[in-house]
Amino acid sequence: MSATAGERRSTQQTSDTGQGEGWRFSLKGSPRHYDDVRAIIEASGTATVYFGEALTYERGAGVALWRVRARDFDWLPVLYDWWAEQERIEPVEFTFHLYIPPALKYSALNLRDHLPDEVAAFIQQNAPRD
């Protein structure tokens, strides 16, 4: 028996938002790149930014915040490639910091110091999973 339209819509909404499963963590970085980073994270369909702020302040500095739920990390190499290209075309270096709940006061990793596979492994080992 096939699902009704309402049941299909409900299932689609759940899978699109990534609710119900995935590792939860936060990234902080440059407010200038908020929209691009969000688009990269969500492009794979297996990760979502469930809360984001294009500009917030941390210890007096303006930062962007992405709270992410991810079922996999296929988007991380894409983020690193995009990041390298941005630094190639603009004369400004920037970085991303990883935060693992519940310890959100201090960064767990500076992504600049680690390869995408290392970051993914760290998240899988340390981040809470829904």
**pLDDT tens, residue by residue, 59-80:** 899 999 999 999 999 999 999 9
Tell me how many domains the chain contains: 1
Q: Which domain holds residue 96?
A: 29-126
Q: Is 40 in contact with 83 (CB distance < 8 Å)?
A: no
Write b or e for each residue in 94-128: b if 16 or more Cβ atoms lie within 10 A of its Cβ, otherwise e. Answer: eebbbbbeeeeeebbbebeeeebeebbebbeeebe
* Helix, coil or strand: residue 15: helix
CA distances from 103 to 26, 48, 56 (A): 10, 21, 18
Position 1 in a domain = no
Residue 9: inside a domain: no
Please indicate, yes or no, if residue 4 is contained in any of the structural domains.
no
Residue 122: inside a domain, yes or no?
yes
Domain assignment present for residue 63? The answer is yes
> Which DSSP state fits 46?
S
DSSP character at residue 115: -
Report pLDDT for 20: 56
Higher pLDDT, 126 or 7: 126
pTM (two decimals): 0.82
Q: Is residue 50 part of a domain?
A: yes
Tens of pLDDT, residue by residue over 23-46, are 999 999 999 999 999 999 999 999
- Taking a C-beta distance cutoff of 8 angstroms, is the pair 49, 38 a contact? yes
